[in-house]
Copies of this chain bind each other. A is one copy, B any other.
Amino acid sequence: MSATMSRITLARRPDGSPVPEDFKLENAPLPSPEQGDVLIEVTHLSLDPYMRGRMDDVKSYAPSVDIGGTMTGQGVGRVLESRADGITKGDIVTGMTGWASHACLPASDIRRLDADLPPSTALGVLGMPGLTGWVGLHKYGRPQKGETLVVGAATGPVGSMVGQLAKSMGLRTIAIAGGEEKCRLATETFGFDAAIDHRAHKDAKSLREAIAKAAPDGVDIYWENVAGKLLEAVLPLMNVHGRIPVCGMIAWYGGDNIADTNQLPSLWRSVLVKRLHVSGFIIFDHWNEYPAFLADVGPKVASGDIAYLEDVAEGLKNMPQTFIEMLKGGNVGKQIVKL
């Protein structure tokens, strides 16, 4: 066992889109587990858009990462040493390891994985993104057979879960994705009824026309992953009593590129006139639903009824660049980094 570990810390707060200099690769002594703790050798790390928010020093739903602190995140790994009951050396577990080669966590904060499925699924289709799509669609999307759903970032782990669940419930599903390859995956791998390449539409109006063509009966559920141009495009197409679960707004995460001025009154007017229900939600409020989610979706993933895609990068030192590219939509499927 090496006596040191590696980790990636926040070197400074990004100004808009993150750049490599915002991160720092460091070595640190390997911690020793105390009573009740478990030492994990991390094998896979998750990269997720929410991490961008943690880099800012603003009040949010979770604490910011401190300057010099380890970047937050979920990982999967192998137990090197356990001082907790019920977990033994060699177990495969998941927990909030941070961007690091090793983590020492209380046993109560980690979960042992089933041996039947690839461990990386615990970070995507059967992890936080999958649960996000499952909880949010059922609770805030309230899908009804025959309705139409539009989702952005549709080949990502949240969007693809939302689309597949909605399709299985009898909805017409429309994917918005960036590029021809992702559009092909949306229909072929994830079964969307239609896929629209937002990069092929220079403005909201043109994108709106394409969505309107694919959604002849209007839009009942707009799953908000993206905001920006897509929000502006979809809003006028919403049906009366439509629902907008607000899960993310990746178009605005960079802090720049907020092109659309003065859209608030038209949004608010739509909310009133169409009696829309807009519900922000954060998966951290819904962890108690995890067992029900796993019981429902786990077998469907095992059987192949729910498909998933992973984009696997390699090496802790490559995490910042992989994260930066992911925020620009460079990944295809759930972004994983294998150590």
- A residues adjacent to B (C-beta < 8 A): 53, 59-61, 224, 227, 231, 240, 246-249, 252, 258, 260-265, 267-282, 285
Contacts and interface: CB of A to CB of B under 8 A. Distances in A.
A279 B279 CA distance: 8
B271 A280 contact: yes
B267 A248 contact: no
A268 B248 contact: no
A59 B275 CA distance: 13
Name the prevailing secondary structure of the A interface residues: mixed
Contact of A280 (B247, B261, B264, B275): B275
B277 A249 contact: no
Contacts of A260: 262, 264
A262 B260 CA distance: 7
Given A246-B272, A261-B262, A277-B279, 20 more contacts: A60-B273, A227-B268, A246-B268, A248-B272, A249-B272, A252-B265, A252-B268, A252-B269, A258-B262, A264-B267, A272-B282, A273-B280, A273-B282, A275-B281, A275-B282, A275-B285, A276-B278, A276-B279, A277-B277, A278-B279
Contact of A61 (B240, B246, B247, B261): B240
B273 A278 contact: no
Contacts of A263: 264
A59 B269 CA distance: 11
A245 to B, nearest CB: 10
Contacts of A272: 246-249, 280-282
A190 to B, nearest CB: 24
Contact of A277 (B252, B258, B278, B282): B278
A285 B241 CA distance: 10
A262 B272 CA distance: 20
A151 to B, nearest CB: 16
